[in-house]
Amino acid sequence: MSFHITLARMRLAMKADPDMAKLLCSSPKNELFFDLNDDGVADFALCDSNHSGEIDTMGFDLTGDGEFDLYINDTDDNGISDHLLVYKPGEEEPTVEASGSRLEEALRPATMKFIITLRSRFDAKTLVKAMKAYRKDVVAVAKSVIG
């Protein structure tokens, strides 16, 4: 999902606002982890998995245990995710559950709405609301394409 928003720019914006800085959890340099429900556990991740500096992957903790279960990734750098990966209990690596243009089309409306939020001036409350809405939309798409 290379939104053409760099991870460094997002990190700087988050740290500049004390309310938004409270949302951040400890994370590796090429990832930003967010605690959306104030339980001290990361629920949402923005990642630069190909080390280009831009956000290309998002992770979602669907169970509340601090482990990311669902990832979406933009491998063709067109701004919309084209891979959906799921970690299944007991497995070390995620499996690709869906990929390609069908997934891109299903994710396009929610992704565009989320990109608009990230590119605008936002506060912590708006960001949390947008991330929760995006997670809900992605889960709905995942259920529809996986079956």
Mind listing the pLDDT tens digit for each residue in 64-94? 888 899 999 999 888 889 999 999 888 888 9
For all residues of the chain together, what is the average pLDDT? 90
Is residue 50 a contact partner of residue 146, using CB atoms and an 8 Å limit? Answer: no
Torsion angles phi and psi, residue 112, rounded to 5: -65, -40
Percent of the chain with pLDDT over 70: 97
Residue 95 burial (C-beta neighbours within 10 Å; 0-12, 13-18, 19+): exposed
pLDDT band for position 4 (cuts 50, 70, 90):
low
More confident residue, 70 or 9: 70
Is residue 1 predicted with pLDDT exceeding 50?
no
Is residue 3 predicted with pLDDT exceeding 70?
no
pLDDT at 36: 94
Tokens of 112: 């565009």
Provide the 8-state DSSP code for 97. E
Is residue 106 a contact partner of residue 136, using CB atoms and an 8 Å limit? Answer: no
**Model's pTM, two decimal places?**
0.90
Is residue 2 predicted with pLDDT exceeding 70?
no
The pLDDT tens digits of the residues spanning 117-146 come to 888 878 899 999 999 999 999 999 999 988
Is residue 54 a contact partner of residue 6, using CB atoms and an 8 Å limit? Answer: yes
- Residues 68-90, buried b or exposed e (16+ Cβ, 10 A)? bbbbbbbeeeebbbbbbbbbeee
